[in-house]
Chain A
């Protein structure tokens, strides 16, 4: 029965293979005229000699430029944040300003002494205002030898009130103070003359047992994270499409007349009676970002910032000779937040662990589909122009990650770091396919340059 059904179709097809009808009158003349006007030149559509590579390269250029610009802006504008650098040199109970300072810091009015006892057992140093006596002392500082220590007995500005930092307790602590640099766990090294440097927001707390530095530091990192660990791929039989591509729009169109995709139809007809396959490949994202860290406790930092990621996916569907190829490019901006613990901090070497998460939002996405007929790219054969559609994704992409890093200081402010990390991307329910969905759990390797603010 089935054979009979197939037979009549086969017979009909076979009979019509030799069936011809007369050509319409005047067709050749009209055709010749048209061809002459066009020039009988093959490949008359837009040529792209490098094909996909040029699309890839062209797509990368503006974003590379933007990323470089962001980095430059960050370096130029963020580094001078600490516009007032205060260098304190402890000497005979008088602090001195070595740099310009604002006339009013909004802090509570300092006494003539720069050290003001604020709570029991602690002496809090607040940003002092310049005073003539202090300025005079500053001139003397330059001549001070190393090892100067806090000496309560030294001459001090007279103070109407009783608040001075030179309490008996503080005085008695002079010896511990003297050796404080050795006990000081502050990551910033003392500079020979026990000069402590900090920026606007720094607070220097001296407790009763000695001066222990606690530093509130910001670290600005310029990070380039490259995964480079391959991609995910799959191969299935039959035709398929990436969500958001023109092919997907064609296949999903609910209206019979909404979207008749001519090149797509041509691919289908060209592959009649042939086995067709679909191959997908999602490349691991490439990321570039800026990070800012706040060391809120010894060795512990809270790190955040901005991270740009580019996700590229490829799909090829059909046969070797006749197929369509879609390239999808997605651009995300992410807000990472992580906790970083430095467990080794020796000389130039720092090792740390980090754990946290990231929220990413799709900024822009697009897919471009090319059609290959007889193994010839449609841009070159003129049979079809590439079809480009914009992809929008509203859902946020959340991820959790843990990592370990090693940083090597190559200067006072610079450090090179390498940070392998494991990441898990949570399913956000979006139909857009990308690397995160194909491989939720992944590893990546970040290589970067960290710039520190002092």
Chain B
């Protein structure tokens, strides 16, 4: 189903607040694919990503009454925040290694300060490459690039120092840049 127009979305949200099953399904259909992409960018495993996405949608639909529609895109942004939160909570519960200590040895002590050249790289590939980043790098990269959080807040959120957030983001960026180069070179 295509994304609704502003008036239609507002109306559908109002109906969904009244627990109109059709309206809820309409919202689900309109946003689930986008939210699935967001979720998978944080959670590498498909089964885990499905569980996290389901939890996020449950939370969104059970608290829809408190949502105040503020214009086109506000609903998606709201649901996205919930999804990212759920993803971070899942990562916390299932962390394989501490965020602050993770550092792939092949990057070396001083990774090159190089921005990833994403021009011409298919989004599916970029998504895969980002999903392939080490867990700590991936979370910080997503929070800084896609959620636009400053490092100070990322540090506060993840319980690390601001400096660690900076350095891990730099490493994530360098690693992504290298992976993109390898993709361009090898096609995979």
Contacts and interface: CB of A to CB of B under 8 A. Distances in A.
Interface string A242-282: 00000000110111111111101110111011000000000
Nearest to B88: A265
Interface string A124-167: 00000000000000000000000000000000000000000000
B92 A260 contact: yes
Interface in A349-387: 373-376, 380-383
A192 interface: no
Interface stretch (A28-36, A58-66, A284-292, A404-412): A28-36
Contact of A41 (B36, B62, B156): B62
Nearest to A11: B118
B150 to A, nearest CB: 9
Contacts of B67: 374, 376, 381
B53 interface: yes
A76 interface: no
B58 interface: yes
A30 B50 CA distance: 10
A183 B59 CA distance: 84
B32 A27 contact: yes
Contacts of A254: 159
A8 B40 contact: no
B32 A23 contact: yes
A38 interface: yes
Contacts of B66: 42-43, 373-374, 376, 380-383
Given A4-B115, A257-B159, A31 B28 contact: yes
Interface string A339-352: 00000000000000
Given A21-B33, A381-B66, A16 B146 contact: yes
B37 interface: yes
Interface in B17-42: 17, 19, 21, 24-25, 28, 32-34, 36-37, 40
Contact of A257 (B61, B70, B95, B126): B95
A394 interface: no
Contacts of B123: 15-16, 19
Interface residues of A, number: 56
Contacts of A81: none
B183 interface: no
Contact of B148 (A13, A23, A35): A13
Contacts of A19: 34, 37, 123, 127
Which of A24, A30, A239, A253 is the most central at the interface, judged by chain B CB atoms within 10 Å of its CB?
A: A24
A44 interface: yes
Interface residues of B, number: 62
B62 to A, nearest CB: 5
A239 B145 CA distance: 21
Interface stretch (B4-12, B79-87, B104-112): B79-87
A234 interface: no
B61 A28 contact: no
A256 B159 contact: yes
B72 interface: no
Given A12-B126, A265-B88, A269-B143, 16 more contacts: A9-B145, A21-B37, A23-B53, A24-B46, A40-B24, A40-B61, A42-B64, A250-B156, A256-B98, A256-B101, A373-B66, A375-B68, A381-B66, A382-B59, A382-B66, A383-B63
Interface of A: 4-5, 8-9, 11-13, 15-16, 19-24, 27-28, 30-31, 34-35, 38, 40-44, 239, 250-251, 253-262, 264-266, 268-270, 272-273, 373-376, 380-383
Q: Which 5 A-B pairs have the closest CB atoms?
A: A42-B65, A381-B66, A20-B33, A24-B50, A260-B92
26 contacts: A8-B117, A15-B123, A16-B37, A19-B123, A24-B53, A30-B54, A31-B28, A31-B54, A31-B57, A31-B61, A35-B61, A38-B58, A40-B62, A250-B159, A256-B98, A256-B101, A256-B160, A257-B92, A260-B159, A261-B157, A262-B85, A270-B81, A376-B66, A381-B65, A381-B66, A381-B67
Interface of B: 17, 19, 21, 24-25, 28, 32-34, 36-37, 40, 46, 49-50, 53-54, 57-59, 61-68, 70, 78, 81-82, 84-85, 88-89, 92, 95, 98-101, 115-118, 123, 126-127, 143-149, 153, 156-160
